[in-house]
Amino acid sequence: MTMALLKDKVILISGGTQGLGAGVARRAAEEGATGIAVTGRNADSGEQLAAQITATGVETRFIKTDLTDVEQARNSVLETVSAFGQLDCTVNAAGLTTRGTMLDTTPELFDAHMAVNLKSPFFIMAETIKHLRSRGVPGSILNVISIAELGGQPYLAPYVAAKAGLAGVTRNAAHAHRWDKIRINGLDIGWTATDGEAQTQRKFHGAGDDWLEKANASVPMGKLGQVDEIAEFIVFLLSDRSGVVTGSVIDWDQNVLGGSD
């Protein structure tokens, strides 16, 4: 039998109360994590998820966090360490996807994207690294980015700006802290089936109840990205089984960038 991938590890997941973040939390519990902290703004969904995972035997805490406030973001790391005595792996899974083009994005919308998609992840990474270095132990960080950081649709201008920044920071931090044995990687996910995506499609694109069926039919593999599949890969990247890999920003998509018919 193989050892659980996150045996004896404590993991923090920002934006972990729903969608991909919640999927990662559940998978981490299945793979032997001894403690899990999930952050988000919705206390009801956060507490419910924490209770569900705790009931499986893995202590899970919800830390109410508004990522537009960088001090709350930084404090989520400190609260995780206070609750569990250590932190070994961090996932930045939160993301703001409010639409805006180059021409209609307001400074306020731009700042909101930067706060949630870049600034708070930056400082969550920094606090995680400080903690790992203070203990003198290896660790790992995974940033959920987006395939859109390589260009994206016109209506994602501020989102692309922030996510492209996060991709750069991922590589920079990985290089800076490789001798600390802290591995830092990113995942450029493509179109994924989540509750949040369903809301986005209805709010911004006038989609109906059959949006997912139509979306699945429009992509090469016949299905959008699946939360459980991506979560499994994230946990692998966090674990020692992914070896020495660091500074990689990996495409998770079914369209090949640069390909042409």
Catalytic positions are 159
Which residue, among 123, 166, 130, 136, has the nearest Cα to 148 in the 3D structure?
Answer: 166
Q: Rounded to the nearest 10 degrees, what angle do helices 107-114 and 157-176 cross at?
A: 30
> Are the C-beta atoms of 246 and 178 separated by less than 8 Å?
yes
Radius of gyration of the chain (CA): 18
Q: Parallel, antiparallel, or unpaired: how do β-strands 225-226 and 192-193 relate? A: parallel
CA distance 139 to 107: 36
Nearest 5 degrees, angle CA 67-CA 59-CA 49? 55
Burial zone of 108 (CB within 10 Å; 0-12 exposed, 13-18 middle, 19+ buried): exposed
Instruction: Indicate the SS3 state at residue 27.
Output: helix
Closest by Cα among 60, 137, 143, 128 to 94: 143
How far is the C-alpha of 190 from the C-alpha of 183, rounded, in Å? 23
